[in-house]
Amino acid sequence: MLIRHIKTAGNSLYTAKQRTLLALLGMSIGIASVIAMLSVGLMYGEETMRQYQALGSDMLSIGYQREPRDNSSDDSDSDRKKPAMTAALVQALPEHLHSIAMAAPEANSYAWFDFDGTSGYVWDFIGTTQNYRALNGIKIQQGRFISDLDAHQHTVVLSGDFLNTKAFRTYKKNIIGATIMLRDREYHIVGVLAENAMLNSAGGNVIRKTAYTHISNMRQQRDGRTVGVVHAKLTAGADAAQTAEAIEQYFAKRVSGLKVKVIFSKSLIERKQKQANMQTLLLTVIGAIAMLVAGVGIMNVMLTSVTERKQEIGILRAIGARQADIRWQFFIEAVILSLLGGAIGTALGVAAAYGYAQVQELTFFVSTFAIFVGVGVSTAIGIIFGLYPAHKAAKLDPITALRAV
């Protein structure tokens, strides 16, 4: 009987081609956009996680603990010298703590640059040491990164986007060895980073002009601090909590009043994962709303169909169709419509996600979650939004239905 119902449903859907096509269009577009949105979201999430995990879960950063705010403080107070981590202390860290494999200080500032008649703003002028490259997984396209031998040498490594500027473009391959003015001082360019060389702290790629030099070239900030943050890596098998404590003691013992805060990349990754989950949830909710709209569309089409086919319902009832037969017929029509729309929409959505992945150079994958959403939700819509019209059709009074034109 089910096969007969499906055949009948197929037949009547085929007869009402225009109505069927419109319903399918609405349904497919709804499902397609949800699948595409979910897939792209999930691909971005995966990509970010991959990049974070490439850094390793054994990474940690050391920053200053925020001091409790002093009510009597005024503007002049910010000039007061605060206890600071020094480059020398940071570089000695692995010698004193076996749980630290490697460490690099980072002094963050900004600079105005002049190069061959062009000038501009360098958003991040970073002072660091040789290990910074290994710790952050930086890729170089030309020359080399800052070395420990560069101490007090005015050498600089530029981010790849410098080359997009006209003045630098003309140099292209000869940029190594050229000089650039930074903070009114002459620096020799020794290297250029690859584009997308590393992640910034927000998890995106470095997209603004950044220059790296040896930390010895950096001046103290107004608060007396040069090193702003320290990047470090745990020795394999080291205990994170114990290491954190050891680091805090290491600095506290050597600089009076210095309180540092240790953050492990593992917790960063976990936070990132949570963010990604939240994002997926949000997309799912938006998707659910889109699906609801598609479902109302299906219901509308089915209700129209019931009204238009009143006479048919009357005829079928007269020749002996039970209410259940009529209910099944309309219900199956709605489910077929939703499933077909779901299938087309899923295909379109996956194709769109594939196209986007190609353009954005993301790793494409068909997420089972997205497919589940496509198939599951369209079935659910067919069932939920098909029930009412089917019920309405079944409950029609045969006499009234027969009289309908």
- DSSP character for 235? P
Identify which range of 25-33, 143-151, 311-319, 353-361 contacts another protein by CB under 8 A: 311-319
CA distance 219 to 96: 26
Q: Is 318 in the site for another protein (CB under 8 A)?
A: yes
Q: Which residues share a beta bridge with 115?
A: 118
Q: Is 307 in the site for another protein (CB under 8 A)?
A: no
**Could you say which of 106, 150, 312, 333 contacts another protein (CB under 8 A)?**
312
Q: Is 275 in the site for another protein (CB under 8 A)?
A: no
Token pair of 68 as six digits? 């409790």
Size of the site for another protein (CB under 8 A): 22
Q: Give the residue with the Cβ less far from another protein, 9 or 38.
A: 9
> What number of CA atoms fall less than 13 Å from residue 370's CA on the CB side?
28
Token pair of 309 as six digits? 């086919």
Chain position carrying tokens 């995966």: 46
Q: Is 390 in the site for another protein (CB under 8 A)?
A: no
Token pair of 56 as six digits? 């390793």
**Residues in contact with 358: Cβ distance below 8 Å, sequence separation at least 6, in sequence order:** 364
Q: Is 1 in the site for another protein (CB under 8 A)?
A: yes
Query: What are the C-alpha distances in Å from 281 to residues 37, 276, 288, 290, 350?
Result: 12, 9, 10, 14, 19
Q: How many residues are there in the chain?
A: 405
Q: Is 6 in the site for another protein (CB under 8 A)?
A: no
Q: Is 319 in the site for another protein (CB under 8 A)?
A: yes
CA distance 297 to 274: 35
Q: Give the residue with the Cβ less far from another protein, 27 or 321.
A: 321
Q: Give the residue with the Cβ less far from another protein, 221 or 323.
A: 323
**Could you say which of 167, 380, 384, 402 contacts another protein (CB under 8 A)?**
402
Q: Is 321 in the site for another protein (CB under 8 A)?
A: yes
Q: Is 21 in the site for another protein (CB under 8 A)?
A: no
Token pair of 146 as six digits? 């800052």
**What are the backbone dihedrals phi and psi of residue 67, each rounded to the nearest 5 degrees, phi first?**
-80, 145
Identify which range of 4-12, 68-76, 132-140, 376-384 contacts another protein by CB under 8 A: 4-12
Minimum CB separation of residue 24 from another protein in Å reads 19
Q: Give the residue with the Cβ less far from another protein, 263 or 315.
A: 315
Q: Is 398 in the site for another protein (CB under 8 A)?
A: yes
**What are the backbone dihedrals phi and psi of residue 59, each rounded to the nearest 5 degrees, phi first?**
-85, 150
Binding to another protein (CB under 8 A) within 34-73 occurs at none
Minimum CB separation of residue 39 from another protein in Å reads 39
Identify which range of 40-48, 150-158, 291-299, 308-316 contacts another protein by CB under 8 A: 308-316
Q: What share of the chain is helix, strand, coil (3-state, %, to 5)?
A: 55, 20, 25
Residues that bind another protein (CB under 8 A): 1, 4, 11-12, 15, 311-312, 314-325, 398-399, 402
